[in-house]
């Protein structure tokens, strides 16, 4: 497994991976209606802004197939996303992507970082030193809401 910066050429594969990750790994924590509303908006063009404005990484295998994505919004000191393909989950790829994003955040002189975690990923972020702050909602264009958990990490405490 290797990590590189994502490019425009990855958009279709990113969209496919992102949708598969949500549909399989988030399914126990959100309703079918929420999953449909969430994945419906994830067309390839949705990633244009993040590719331009954020730190957008992908993990890939020896066949060049994408295994996961990770996005850091350095301007807002926020981990915007970590999504792993369901077939590749539980193998440390999410941890590798998150560690890489945190390293970039530290190098950008960020001392504290936030994530709006999905309900299912709370344990993953806790395992990485994030502390639960409050329940929040992510608003989708169709008016539906996704319950999330705002979590923070002090990057100075864990400079690994």
Ligand X SMILES: CC(C)(COP(=O)(O)OP(=O)(O)OC[C@H]1O[C@@H](n2cnc3c(N)ncnc32)[C@H](O)[C@@H]1OP(=O)(O)O)[C@@H](O)C(=O)NCCC(=O)NCCS
Residues at the interface with ligand X (CB under 6 A) = 21, 25-26, 81-84, 89-95, 115, 117-118, 120-121, 123-124, 127
Q: Smaller CB distance to ligand X: residue 13 or 117?
A: 117
> Which residues, in sequence order, are bridge partners of residue 146?
138
Pick 109 or 139: Cβ nearer ligand X: 139
| Segment holding 150, helix H or strand E | strand 145-154
CB crowding 46-59: b at 16 or more within 10 Å, else e:
ebeebbeebbbbbb
* Residue among 37 and 115 whose Cβ is closer to ligand X: 115
Cβ atoms within 10 Å of 76's Cβ, excluding its own: 12
How far apart are CB 118 and ligand X at their closest, in Å?
4
Q: How far is the CB of 2 from ligand X (least distance, A)?
A: 15
């Amino acid at each position: 497994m290797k990590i590189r910066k994502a490019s425009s050429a990855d958009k279709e594969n990113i969209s496919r991976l992102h949708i598969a990750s949500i549909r399989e790994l988030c399914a126990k924590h959100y309703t079918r209606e929420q999953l449909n509303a969430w994945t419906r908006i994830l067309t390839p063009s949705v990633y244009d802004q993040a590719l331009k404005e954020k730190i957008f990484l992908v993990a890939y295998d020896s066949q060049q197939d994408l295994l996961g994505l990770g996005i850091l919004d350095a301007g807002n000191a926020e981990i915007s996303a970590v999504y792993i393909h369901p077939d590749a989950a539980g193998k440390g790829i999410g941890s590798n992507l998150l560690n890489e994003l945190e390293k970039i955040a530290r190098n950008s002189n960020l001392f504290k970082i936030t994530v709006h975690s999905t309900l299912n990923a709370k344990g993953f972020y806790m395992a990485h030193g994030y502390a639960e702050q409050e329940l929040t909602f992510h608003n989708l264009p169709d008016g539906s809401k996704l319950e999330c958990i705002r979590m923070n990490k002090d990057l100075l405490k864990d400079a690994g």
